[in-house]
Chains A and B, each alone.
Chain A
């Protein structure tokens, strides 16, 4: 008795190969579809908004007339917002990561903090807005200021920065640590002089990616009560302001078709800012990527 019937195998093999081909095509098609969505999205926005882009668009304030509407207040506001979010979130994020990786003893509390961080990352941004509205805007009486919005955004991206910084710190090899201790350095000296310098590319890359998420977030700003039409530039962190995504949201939700062009132009500016931040992140990753 033969275990394998040659003809049957040959006959079925063709069918199986065809099925394999068909599904390979389907899987490839699905992947292409996702990429196509991105291409259409970018093409639509560039073709709609490019015509409205000009130096005036960058230097004009918002206006009731679409042809005069500019993005100056929003662009400057977003930069102010980043000036609060970047130091706050990076300080809190890196501090937490150092504590969790270097000081915390493995135990219930550490596991709890870790679990808490990953759950916090899944909380919708609009809920962070409610937190900011209650704590920063009302309880701490910061009002619709850059500081209130900045603190809210910092908490929103904090989990992302903590996780990125933890990974960067964890990837510093143990020998470097041991060598530093062997030379008589204290724990803090080792952290500041050995571990952080080695981990900084990873920390910066993760932080910039997190910040670029904060710059595109709209929902928390709306809930915190950031106004849209602003005809002046903020002069300090206690001033009120508007931001790029707020301005885009306002233009998109207007019924006049002309404002859609303005919104598209605003989106181009936002995307260019994001692209710029991402390329810095990629540059840092490639330039300082040391493999031990």
Chain B
């Protein structure tokens, strides 16, 4: 039996199921796309609801103003967030000191000096560095960087802020380098050529033309690196210890916000205890910090972008 093309077309137009599919698919896909929005809502609601429960037991002012974090005390447990924030800032500070000079230098080298061949090798290697799981970095900090530091500075303890700080820095180097390099590569070649034709050296081009033109992207990459360092969990859980401290000591055990959450989750803090709710309050604080950083990074790269 032969059917003409017209008949086939007429037949397929009659099919109701096809029309229904065409109507249903967009709705279904919209529902799928809303999962990411629901995730955000879920995170915010979860954190807020459990944090509010926490604040019915511990006054908000104690949490925000307190400088003692003693959640496991049998009587008179204290929940002042500052020691955890200070711990987090110690790690982040060292990480930035390590990562910013190296990351930006690597970006300048790759975008201004390196030949295509060098770039083709170095960039994938940096990607590998970015893909190393954080637990591996944690192991590296604990079993290699700390002993090496101890052999130079005997006063450094097994758990300290310096070693995990350095390793968190190494972890965020690829991120700062590749985002900064992207920003520098987007500076038009004609501007560089103009400066070179005027007799500038490559360094002068990099320092006076490329870096200023790409500054918004470079700053955004640093802020994103900061946000990553604040949220980093496994390196500090393994190598920084678990002593919340409100002081300026870097050589001994400290505790960050993330490490506290891990410490409680690992133990058997029963559901419904104040300690259980405290991880949400700490998580919420952490969320606010990283959110502020991410928004700042987005704002920086939009607000100060130079259009060519």
Contact = CB atoms under 8 A, between A and B. Distances in A.
Interface of A: 16-17, 19-20, 23-24, 26-31, 33-35, 37-38, 40-41, 44-45, 48, 91-92, 95-96, 98-100, 103-104, 112-113, 116-120, 122-131, 133-135, 138, 155, 158-159, 162, 184, 186-188, 209, 212-213, 215-219, 222-223, 225, 245, 248-249, 252-253, 260, 263-264, 267, 270-271, 274, 278
A99 B34 CA distance: 10
A158 B35 contact: yes
Contact of A117 (B36, B174, B293, B295): B36
B29 A103 contact: yes
A96 B135 contact: no
Contacts of A212: 131
A134 B287 CA distance: 16
A245 B133 contact: yes
Nearest to A186: B22
Interface stretch (B64-72, B120-128, B149-157): B120-128
A37 B170 contact: yes
A49 B305 CA distance: 47
Contacts of B230: 124
Nearest to A49: B139
Contacts, number: 247
Contact of B283 (A40, A127, A135, A215): A127
Which 9 pairs from chain A and chain B are nearest by CB?
A: A124-B231, A216-B133, A30-B105, A95-B32, A27-B109, A99-B29, A20-B201, A122-B294, A219-B233
A271 B137 CA distance: 12
A125 B35 contact: no
Nearest to B295: A119
Contact of A24 (B42, B143, B203, B298): B203
Contacts of B233: 124-126, 218-219
B142 interface: yes
Contact of A123 (B18, B43, B298): B43
Contacts of A128: 43
Given A30-B109, A122-B290, A126-B233, A45 B133 contact: no
B137 to A, nearest CB: 8
B299 interface: no
A22 to B, nearest CB: 8
B234 interface: yes
Classify the interface of chain B: helix, strand, loop or mixed: helix
Nearest to A263: B139
A24 B286 CA distance: 39
B136 A116 contact: no
B73 interface: no
A30 B18 contact: no
A30 B35 CA distance: 42
A104 B33 CA distance: 10
B140 interface: yes
B94 interface: no
21 contacts: A29-B105, A31-B105, A34-B173, A34-B177, A37-B170, A44-B140, A96-B32, A96-B36, A122-B227, A126-B286, A130-B280, A155-B39, A158-B36, A162-B36, A188-B21, A212-B131, A216-B136, A219-B134, A219-B237, A271-B136, A278-B131
A20 B202 contact: yes
Contacts of B218: none
A135 B37 CA distance: 15
A138 B129 contact: no
A224 B271 CA distance: 13
Interface in B25-53: 25-26, 28-30, 32-37, 39-40, 42-43, 46-47, 50
